[in-house]
Amino acid sequence: MSFNGWKKYIEEGDLVIVYMSRENMIPITIKKDQEFNNRFGTYKHNDIIGKEFGSKMVSSNYKGFVYLLHPTPELWTLVLPHRTQILYLADISFISTLLELKPGVSMIESGTGSGSFSHSIARTIAPHGKLYTFEYHEERAKLAEVEFKAHGYGDIIKVHHRDVCKDGFQLENLVDAVFLDLPAPWDAVASAKKAFKQDRTGKICCFSPCIEQVSKTVTALEQNEFIEITMYECLMKEHMVVPVQKLSFQDLIQEAKQKKLNGKDGSSVTVPVKRRLGKDEPIPTAEEVEESNQLMLTSRTPGETRGHTSYLTFATFLPSTAF
């Protein structure tokens, strides 16, 4: 089953992402005479074979249904077996953009971990790019290599079992970009510098959860003559669409009079208020809002932003020939 492409019909041996809800998806490999079960019923693999990817499938007892999705790197990140902590889509997209990944790029990744980022990299640099991924844990390296081959990335991803902080990458004048997700990325910076193509600029990113790690990494980057060193932090914030009732100017004046509050200095402060829809009132569609003279859509954000996951430190390799 190839992640690097698209097929229309499900066949035996294919990997299928079974979608039950936004928070509930699982990967299954289709095999004849086997079944998939959930609390709403049974789904026979024999009935799945021949269906189109994206199809809706009803359970055998007609009490529930699932969607049969084609695997993608984005979906794989949400359902993969966790062997380590992984990168999620917000960081993956940001890193891919700032590392200037595109078809044909050669890149180093260390460590491989659960292979979440590896799949997105491989899809982005295909068909002629190359990813050299390094993992110090032998069992994880073997499992990752099996997955990459099964998912159609065997020709793009080359897995190495090595502790790069001690032994380096042992690659020279070869890659355009480097990504380091290591406990001590500063120990691999000098080796990474040798791995860059020495006649052109390159990009490096170091993923670190602690600011102390960032400080040591920046020192190592400066000592190895990297330039444009910049640190970012990605935080997720949800925007919720909320319909509210429109109020005329006269309505605002009237409501403000009814909502007077006493200020600290004893003066009177007016507070205009827009009424939100009650819990039992149905949320209108966008078309209904547009047609209504009484409603408008607003964007609201929650009071708190999702917590910190990491700092991303980027820098540019400048070849000596540029001076």
List, as residue ranges, the binding site for S-adenosyl-L-methionine. Answer: 135, 163, 181
Rounded Cα–Cα distance for residues 132 and 145 (Å):
11
Q: Which two tokens stand for residue 212?
A: 């102390």
Rounded Cα–Cα distance for residues 306 and 177 (Å):
29
What does the chain come to in residues? 323
Using DSSP bridges, classify how beta strands 227-232 and 311-317 pair: parallel, antiparallel or unpaired: antiparallel
| The residue type at 114 | S
DSSP 8-state class, residue 226: -
Contacts of 162 (CB under 8 A, 6+ apart): 134, 135, 136, 169, 170
Which residue, among 97, 315, 109, has the nearest Cα to 223 in the 3D structure?
315
Query: Longest Cα pair distance anywhere in the chain, in angstroms?
Result: 78
Residues linked to residue 132 through DSSP beta bridges, in sequence order: 108, 158
Which residues fall in the annotated binding site? 135, 163, 181
Helices 116-125 and 138-150, packing angle to 10 deg: 40
Does the N-terminal peptide bond of residue 319 adopt cis geometry, omega within 30 degrees of 0?
A: no
Q: Which two tokens stand for residue 162?
A: 């090595």
Rounded Cα–Cα distance for residues 304 and 287 (Å):
31
